[in-house]
């Protein structure tokens, strides 16, 4: 099921990916610095980005949520992606975000992630949201802590030993995880 709306923050809006977004998304998904702390390598060619977006679109169609493209309100240009995604092996739902390097240090990752946390209960029947980051990605760890996530343990995800965080989604009257 597809979501019929966009997520809006003060400086951005986000929407589900479409196949035509591949060329724009390739600009950050192929950047070795943006992908430095991501379990998958940078996309080497546009076909890699097309395949990645196909996975996000399928996840969206199947679950009603996925990673979405982030668009800068001022320029109307894509600047990254963020959203909710199933972790492997049924370990829960993760919040993830990636911002194009030109926009690092501006608070956009925090702004967009905060909006996803706000709307997560609309997409999920769980009481806890998860996140992980590379052990060396102290910037992302600070963002997660600022958002209220708590470090729980080191967890093996996508072949990495990674700091694993959780955030209670309260009040959530729909279900408990």
Backbone angles phi, psi at 51, to 5 degrees: -65, -40
The alpha carbon dihedral of 19, 23, 24, 26 has a sign of: positive
Q: Is the pLDDT of residue 66 over 90?
A: yes
Q: Please, is 49 exposed, middle or buried when counting C-beta atoms within 10 Å of its C-beta (0-12, 13-18, 19+)?
A: buried
The pTM assigned to this predicted structure is: 0.91
Tell me the CATH number of domain 7-168, given options 3.20.20.70, 1.20.58.100, 3.40.630.30, 3.40.50.20: 3.40.630.30
Confidence of residue 159 (pLDDT cuts 50, 70, 90): confident
Q: Is the pLDDT of residue 89 over 60?
A: yes
How many Cβ atoms are within 10 Å of 171's Cβ, its own excluded?
Answer: 8
* CA-based nearest residue to 93, from 120, 61, 60: 120
Q: Which residues pair with 160 in a beta bridge?
A: 157
**CA–CA gap between residue 160 and residue 106 (Å, rounded):** 28
**CA–CA gap between residue 76 and residue 81 (Å, rounded):** 14
Domains of the chain: which residue ranges? Answer: 7-168
| Each residue's pLDDT tens digit, 6-60 | 899 999 999 999 999 999 999 999 999 999 999 999 999 999 999 999 999 999 9
Confidence of residue 4 (pLDDT cuts 50, 70, 90): low
């Amino acid at each position: 099921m597809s979501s019929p709306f966009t997520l809006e923050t003060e400086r951005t809006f986000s929407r589900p990916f479409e196949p035509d977004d591949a060329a724009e998304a390739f600009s950050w998904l192929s950047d070795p610095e943006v992908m430095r702390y991501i379990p998958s390598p940078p996309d080497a060619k546009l076909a890699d980005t097309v395949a990645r977006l196909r996975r996000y679109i399928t996840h969206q169609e199947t679950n009603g949520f996925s990673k979405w493209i982030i668009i800068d309100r001022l320029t109307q240009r894509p600047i990254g992606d963020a959203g909710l995604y199933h972790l492997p092996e049924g370990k829960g739902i993760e919040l993830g975000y990636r911002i194009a390097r030109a926009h690092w240090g501006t608070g956009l990752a925090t702004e967009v992630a905060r909006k996803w946390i706000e709307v997560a209960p609309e997409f999920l029947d769980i009481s806890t949201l998860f996140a992980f980051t590379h052990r060396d990605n102290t910037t992302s760890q600070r963002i997660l802590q600022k958002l209220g996530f708590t470090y729980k343990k080191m967890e093996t995800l996508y072949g990495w030993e990674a700091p694993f965080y959780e955030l209670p989604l309260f009040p959530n009257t729909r279900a408990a995880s």
